[in-house]
Amino acid sequence: MLIFKHISDLQNYLSKQRLNSKTIGFVPTMGALHKGHLYLLQKSKAEQDISVCSIFVNPTQFNQKTDLKAYPRTIEQDIYLLEKEGNDVLFMPDENEMYPKGQLPKIDFDFAGLDKDMEGSHRPGHFNGVVMVLHRFLNIIQPNAIYMGQKDFQQYLITDKLAKDFHPKTKVRMVQTVREADGLAMSSRNLRLSEKGRAVSKNLYAALKSFSEKMHSVPVDDLKNSIIKSLNEHPDIEVEYLELANAENMQLLENVEKESKKVVCIAANVEGVRLIDNLIIP
C-alpha cells in the first residue's frame, strides 16, 4: 500500500493512474478503523480500479474540544488492517496540509434544510466542518465515486448534495451499516465504552427496531416518548433524540407518511460516549 502525507505526491500518483484510464474510489475516514470502514473499502475495491482511503481526524467537524481530544487514534493497527484488505493508497495528511496556515476552505453550500435537525441542531457547526473537509478532499482526489456509510445517514445525504452541486463527476455511494452480533452499529467510539456500556448499547438498535415495528399502530409522538423513557431508565443511557424523518429531505415527520421513504434516527450518550444509529424504512 502506498502512503501519502502530502497532497502533491498523492495528486502526482493519481494523475498517472487517470492517464492509464484507471477509475478511483475514495473512502474518507477518521481512523480507528473497524469492519464498517473496511466494508466501504470492499465496495470501492469491487467497483473501482484504485481505492484511496483517507485518515484525518478533522478538527472543524468537532463542536466539542473534549470530544476531539478523546477521539481514538490507532494508526498502526489501521495501516495493518488496510494492508490486509488490499487497499491501494492511504492518504494521511496533517492539519497544516489540509488547512494551510489555518485557513479554512470557503464554500457557499446550500444545505437545503438537510442540516436543520438531529445532528445539525445537536452539533452546531458539525456539518459545516464536514462539508469543508469533504469539499477539500473531493477537489484534491477527484474520485469517480466516494463511499459513505449509512450509519451517518444525514451526512450521506449532505455529501450527495455537495457532490451534485460542486463535484458532478463524483458519484456518492451509500454503504449499509455493519453491526456487531447484538445489533450495535460498529463505531470507532465504541472503543471508549466499558464492557458494561458496550453491553447496554445494544438497546439503541433494539429501540430503532421496536420503533419501526410499532409506528404503524402507535402515534409517532407517543411512541418516541415511550421508547426514550424506557431507554433513559438504563442509568448509563441518556437519549439526545429519537426522530422519524423523510429519508429524502430529512424533514421530521409527526405522522407516518405511507408513500415516502423514511428513516428513524437516534443519538444517545452511553457512559458519556455519543453514539448514533438509524434504520431506513422503505
Known catalytic residues? 37
Q: Measured from the CB of residue 161, what is the shortest distance to ligand AMP in angstroms?
A: 15
Q: Is 185 in the site for ligand AMP (CB under 6 A)?
A: yes
- How does DSSP assign 83-137, residue by residue? HHHT-SEEE---HHHHSGGGPPPP-----TTTTSSTHHHHSTTHHHHHHHHHHHH
Q: According to the binding rule CB under 6 A, does residue 30 interact with ligand AMP? A: yes
Least Å distance between CB 255 and ligand AMP? 29
| 186 sits near ligand AMP (criterion: CB under 6 A) | yes
Kindly state whether residue 190 participates in binding ligand AMP, applying the rule CB under 6 A: no
State the DSSP H helix or E strand holding residue 246, giving kind and residue range, or none if neither.
strand 237-246
CB proximity list for 114: less than 8 A, separation 6 or greater: 120, 127, 154, 157, 158, 161, 249, 250
Which CB, 13 or 183, lies closer to ligand AMP? Answer: 183
Amino acid occupying residue 98: M
Sole binder of ligand AMP in the list 7, 29, 82, 136 (CB under 6 A): 29
Closest by Cα among 110, 145, 142, 141 to 128: 110
Binding mask 158-177 for ligand AMP (x = CB under 6 A): -----------------x-x
CA distance 27 to 17: 17
Residues 58-117 that bind ligand AMP (CB under 6 A): none
Please say which residue, 69 or 258, places its beta carbon nearer to ligand AMP: 69
Identify whether the C-beta of residue 92 lies closer than 8 Å to the C-beta of residue 55.
yes
Judged by CB, which is closer to ligand AMP: 99, or 147? 147
Tally the C-alpha atoms within 13 A of residue 273's C-alpha that lie toward its C-beta.
Answer: 20
Q: Binding of ligand AMP at residue 273 (CB under 6 A)? A: no
Rounded to a whole number of angstroms, the minimum distance from the CB of residue 205 to ligand AMP is 11
User: Residue 203, interface with ligand AMP (CB under 6 A)?
Assistant: no
The helix (run of H) or strand (run of E) holding residue 51 is strand 50-55
The three cell numbers locating residue 77: 493497527
In the block, which residue shows the cell 456539518?
127
Pick from 53, 132, 178, 215 the residue near ligand AMP by CB under 6 A. 178
Least Å distance between CB 178 and ligand AMP?
Answer: 4
Selection from 79, 227, 87 nearest residue 147 by Cα: 87
Q: Pick the closest to residue 215 from 186, 270, 257, 269 (CA basis).
A: 257
Among 10, 24, 37, 78, binds ligand AMP (CB under 6 A): 37
Query: Could you say whether residue 148 binds ligand AMP (CB under 6 A)?
Result: yes
Contacts to ligand AMP by CB under 6 A? 29-30, 36-37, 39-40, 148-149, 151-152, 175, 177-178, 185-188
